[in-house]
Amino acid sequence: MGAWSAAGTALLKKLEGCKLTAYVDQAGVWTIGYGHTGHEVVPGLSWTQQHADDALNADIGRFAAGVTPLVPPNLDDNQFSALVIFAFNIGLASFAGSTARRLVNEGQLSGVPAAMEMWNKIHDPATGQLVVNPGLQNRRLAEVQLWNTPV
């Protein structure tokens, strides 16, 4: 079974960045640390770097545990880590219903990168229409790069 990798940690830290004061993300969700969300994240909340690092490790553990039963055990560590980072961003429920997960489970691993790259859009606040978000597009490309990196 693929396991979480150090490369996964490095990429997730790079993609999320670390903010030690709570802020509202692009989706309108209160967030702190390395993309941590939850009922405890409220306006004015501040963390130490150690708290942010601890929360990241807990979040990685939670998402890795959520992805593990949804995929077969034949993935390498970078493929597994790329899927965990993907799920971290889109949510476990969305990951569970994604084409990327379906392709993994069908053994069509070569199709997974394109399926992940489809998740690069947000709703335009002015029109309500789905539009490509450059930040998400870059994130998907980084996840795909990790997926494609041999262990």
Q: Which residues are designated catalytic?
A: 16
Give the separation between CA 22 and CA 10, rounded to whole angstroms: 22
Strand order in the sheet with 36-37: 19-24, 30-33, 36-37
Give the tokens for residue 125. Answer: 């606040």
| Polymer length of the chain | 151
Query: Which residues fall within 8 angstroms of residue 53, CB to CB, at 6 or more apart?
Result: none
Give the separation between CA 62 and CA 66, rounded to whole angstroms: 6
Number of C-beta neighbours around residue 89 at 10 A: 19
DSSP secondary structure code for residue 115 in this structure? H
